[in-house]
Chain A
Amino acid sequence: MWKTILRRILIMIPEIIILSILVFLLAKAMPGDPFTGSINPKADPAQLHHLMKINGLYDPWYQQYWNWVVHLFHGNLGNSYQYQEPVTRLIGGRAINTLWLALFTTILTYCIALPMGMYAAKHEGKLPDSIIRVYTYVTFCIPFFVILVIGVWIFGFVLGWFPTTGSISSTATPGIQSVGSRIYHILLPGILGALFGTVNVVQYLRSEVIDAKRSDYVRTARSKGVPEKDIYKHHIFRNSLLPIAAFAGYSITGLLNGSLFTETVFSYPGMGLLFINSISYRDYTVITALVLIYGILNLLGTLLSDIILSIVDPRIRIQ
């Protein structure tokens, strides 16, 4: 199995190279440049020209790309044009914020979704099931950013229960208070993200459990004289949770996509917000670095899912 994982990672290398070239070219193809908007509009075009030149923006793309790769191997992703600080440091700080939010959202998602999905499936066709299904359909139909905006408006502005911007209160002193403030800031985006994230998991789990309920092996268990509650425990839930576990790897992708919306609406200083800002300011170095990171995380997520699946399901063995 280790061989296979190693081989899969080796295969990822050409994928990442192609991805990085594409990302680099796409960023270059965007109209505009990083300077026109940020310096004095009355500035001399010659000065702008000079800025472009010393930053190597007039070189042929492959040379720019090559420079970028060489720097990359020195752990240097370049400087952000907008923030004038190294991209690595810039993203490093944001990544931690995104990680906390993502972790909290994921845990909350599964804490809500698993009991909900199982309960709905166990009482299939009865009232609780109908309520849960209506909930999932409604949530599914509303676009995510609408949920966020409504959430912010109700719980942030009208009720004022939660902060609506930032990742930490500016007045928080280091120590317990700062940790508390951080948690307080991710509560609302986390809960809203989880509400949206549960939909897929609930639907998926519900149909898995219902399939398992009607499966022949459950009928075999009944004919063995196994009590119904043990059938649920040993056969139905166990078997329907395994695909969900494997699904967790892929959910990284979903969370990153979600972070674009959540962080923008909450002005939460994570990678998503950074990404959106960098696009509007044509901050090439940051965009390429972020897209590359997202791409690698996606590839790793897929690999992770395959590995989990091969561990939990004896029918699948990576060879």
Chain B
Amino acid sequence: MESTSEFLNIKDVSTAFKINGKYYDAISHINLEVHHDEILAIVGESGCGKSTLATTIMGLHDPAETKISGEVDFEGTNLLTLNEAGYNKFRGAKIGMIFQDPLSALNPLKRIEDQISEVMDYHTNFTAEQKHDRVLELLDQVGIVNPKRTAHQFPHELSGGMRQRVIIAIAIACKPDLIIADEPTTALDVTIQAQILDVLREIQKENHAGIILITHDLGVVAETADRVAVMYAGQIVEQGSAEQIFNTPKHPYTRSLLRSMPQLENQNDDLYVIQGNVPSLQRMPHEGDRFAPRIPWVPESAHEKDPVMHVIETGHEVRCTCYKEFKFPDEAEDVKA
């Protein structure tokens, strides 16, 4: 499963947004690799920076409002050095993106066929007929029952699940190597969610693509991801294979999240609640462990001054040393909860 064919290498990437004239980091010093034939899940709660990471890779930020540093090495090209025309050779062609809200992500006034073939207008020299055939083929591939009819319809005439399939069809139209899916199933019913995730997996197998799956839903991650990166407050706090993250989670944040999920084992108890709130961009701490304020019973000495990633075993990394001593209040005998 672990392939050596890494083709996307994110090195030390930080993205800062301008708020009232000052720049604040939304993500800081992100390091990640994506390989062919794998699904890398990036999981975290709202405000952790996971969507910013996606839009940074896609180059969708207004340069006047953002400051981006680091390197996004895609098949040997550092995307961050490209101008708009240069970026447009990658966007839609080699990198496809799937958005969260399938209704607003489609132009309400254009027919489905036009919206899908628009990608091919810019990245292929297909004739009109070839494009038409490809549209029908794509719609079939994403599991739409009557491609001819759907191609001719407008977005509002489709159900949420069908719209999301259309979005996926747009993203994969030019067989990209990388697909970034930002909360692709959040707005959908569970049964539709399962079908959409199946479609994503099949496409990945067929195209040997790498997928970055951004989600807040740990269930979706556990079902689909090969590798997982957990983000908190703009940083990756833990990263490893799905088995490592779900079976032997290390970082206090990962463990807290898993514990706050309603599950069979805790169905009669209160759920675990993480103390405090995710810090806002302006109040992001810049020294010490960013998660420390939310586990106040852990002594300061357990945290690193400037937390770095520690390798636990092959592929499994954790930020900060506090994981070694971390216990939940009800597990520890010597700590008063």
Contact = CB atoms under 8 A, between A and B. Distances in A.
A217 B105 contact: yes
Interface stretch (B81-89, B206-214, B309-317): B81-89
Contact of A225 (B91, B101, B109): B91
Interface string B132-161: 000000000000000000000010100000
B318 interface: no
Interface residues of B, number: 30
Q: Which has the most chain A C-beta neighbours within 10 Å: B96, B105, B154?
A: B105
B39 interface: no
A227 B85 contact: yes
Nearest to A216: B104
Nearest to B119: A224
Interface string A234-266: 110011001000000000000000000000000
Interface in B155-188: 156, 167, 170
B59 to A, nearest CB: 8
A225 B120 CA distance: 10
A228 interface: yes
Given A219-B99, A314-B156, A227 B84 contact: yes
B90 interface: yes
Given A228-B84, A242-B109, A223 B154 contact: no
Contacts of A228: 84
Contacts of A313: 108-109
B97 interface: yes
Contacts of A242: 109
A233 to B, nearest CB: 12
Contacts of A238: 109
B170 A220 contact: yes
Contact of A239 (B88, B90, B109, B167): B109
A216 B92 contact: no
A227 B109 contact: no
A239 B92 CA distance: 22
A302 to B, nearest CB: 23
Given A239-B107, A315-B154, A216 B119 contact: no
Interface in A205-227: 215-217, 219-227
Contact of B105 (A216, A239, A314): A216
A219 B180 CA distance: 14
B122 interface: yes
Contacts of A217: 104-108
A224 B118 contact: yes
B106 A220 contact: yes
Given A219-B60, A225-B119, A226-B118, A315 B91 contact: no
Identify whether the interface residues of A are mostly helix, strand, loop, or mixed. helix
B60 A223 contact: yes
Contacts of A235: 107
Contacts of B119: 224-225
Nearest to B167: A220
A225 B60 contact: no
Contacts of B90: 225
Interface in A78-106: none
B93 interface: yes
Interface string A289-300: 000000000000
A234 B109 CA distance: 10
A225 B123 CA distance: 8
B41 interface: no
B58 interface: yes
Given A220-B170, A235-B107, A226 B154 contact: no
Nearest to A242: B109
Nearest to B118: A224
Interface in B205-230: none
Interface in B57-99: 58, 60, 84-85, 87-93, 95-97, 99
Q: Which has the most chain B C-beta neighbours within 10 Å: A216, A219, A224, A227?
A: A224
A252 B46 CA distance: 48
Q: Which has the most chain B C-beta neighbours within 10 Å: A226, A227, A239?
A: A226
Given A219-B60, A313-B109, A224 B167 contact: no
A224 B170 contact: yes
A273 B162 CA distance: 58
A226 B58 contact: no
A221 B122 CA distance: 11
Contact of A224 (B84, B91, B108, B156): B91
A223 B89 CA distance: 11
Contacts of A222: 58, 60, 91
A215 B88 contact: no
B99 A216 contact: yes
Nearest to B89: A225
B105 A220 contact: yes
A223 B58 contact: yes
Given A242-B109, A315-B156, A223 B97 contact: yes
16 contacts: A219-B60, A219-B99, A223-B92, A223-B96, A224-B91, A225-B122, A226-B88, A226-B122, A227-B85, A234-B118, A239-B108, A242-B109, A313-B109, A314-B109, A314-B156, A315-B154
Interface of A: 215-217, 219-228, 234-235, 238-239, 242, 313-315
Closest 10 CB pairs of A and B: A225-B92, A225-B91, A224-B92, A216-B104, A223-B97, A225-B88, A217-B107, A314-B154, A216-B105, A224-B119
Given A216-B105, A223-B95, 8 more contacts: A221-B107, A222-B60, A224-B92, A225-B87, A225-B92, A226-B92, A226-B118, A242-B109
